[in-house]
Structure 1
Amino acid sequence: MNRLVTVAEMTLRELARRRGVLLLLLLMPLVFWLIRRDSHVGQSIRALLLGISWAVSTAALFATSAAREIEPRLRLAGYRPHHLYLGRMLGLWVLGLAVSVPFFLLTVFDTTNLRYAGIAVAMLCCVAVAAPFGMLIGALLPRELEGTLLLLTVVAMQMLLDPASSGAKLTPFWSSREIGTWAVDHTDDGYLTRGLLHGLVVTVLLTVTVAGVFAVRLRRRRHLHHVPLT
Structure 2
Amino acid sequence: MTKILTVAELALREILRRRSVLVILTLLPLAFYFSRRGDHLGQSIRFVCLGIGWALSTAALFAGSAARGIEPRLRLSGYRPHHLHLGRLVALWTVGVGLSVPYFALIRFDQHDVRYGAIALIMALTVAVAAPFGLALSAVLPRELEGTLVLLTVVGLQMIMDPAGTASRLLPFWFSREIGTYAIDHTDDGYLTRGLVHGIVLTLALTALVAVASGIRLRQRSHLRFM
| TM bracket (short chain) | over 0.9
Q: Quote the offset at 1:22 in angstroms.
A: 1.1
Moved over 6 A (4+): none
1:126-184: CA deviations, max 9, x gaps?
A: 00000000001011122111111110100010111111110111101111111111111
1:71-122: CA deviations, max 9, x gaps?
A: 0000000000000001100110010011000000000111100100000000
- Partner in structure 1 of residue 159 of structure 2: 159
| Aligned residues between the structures | 222
- Partner in structure 2 of residue 199 of structure 1: 199
For structure 1, the residue ranges without an aligned partner over 5 or more in a row are: 222-230
TM-score (normalised: structure 1):
0.94
Is the Cα–Cα contact under 8 Å of residues 25 and 99 in structure 1 kept in the other structure?
Answer: no
Q: Which amino acid aligns with 2:114?
A: L
For structure 2, the residue ranges without an aligned partner over 5 or more in a row are: 222-227
- Structure 1 Cα separation of the partners of residues 170 and 3 of structure 2: 34
Structure 1 residues 80-99: aligned runs within 5 Å: 80-99=80-99
Pairing 1:76–2:76 present: yes
- Partner in structure 1 of residue 131 of structure 2: 131
- Structure 2 Cα separation of the partners of residues 25 and 178 of structure 1: 25
- Partner in structure 2 of residue 114 of structure 1: 114
Is the Cα–Cα contact under 8 Å of residues 75 and 220 in structure 1 kept in the other structure?
Answer: no
Could you tell which deviates more after superposition, 127-136 or 170-179? 170-179
Q: Which amino acid aligns with 1:83?
A: H
- Structure 2 Cα separation of the partners of residues 6 and 116 of structure 1: 35
Could you tell which deviates more after superposition, 124-133 or 17-26? 17-26
Pairing 1:16–2:16 present: yes
Q: SS of the residue aligned with 1:79?
A: coil
TM-score (normalised: structure 2):
0.95
- Structure 1 Cα separation of the partners of residues 53 and 147 of structure 2: 14
Q: Quote the offset at 1:220 in angstroms.
A: 7.0
- Structure 2 Cα separation of the partners of residues 183 and 10 of structure 1: 37
Q: SS of the residue aligned with 1:165?
A: coil
- Structure 2 Cα separation of the partners of residues 90 and 24 of structure 1: 22
Q: Quote the offset at 1:219 in angstroms.
A: 1.6
- Structure 1 Cα separation of the partners of residues 214 and 26 of structure 2: 29
Q: Which amino acid aligns with 1:7?
A: V
- Partner in structure 2 of residue 186 of structure 1: 186
RMSD (CA atoms): 1.2
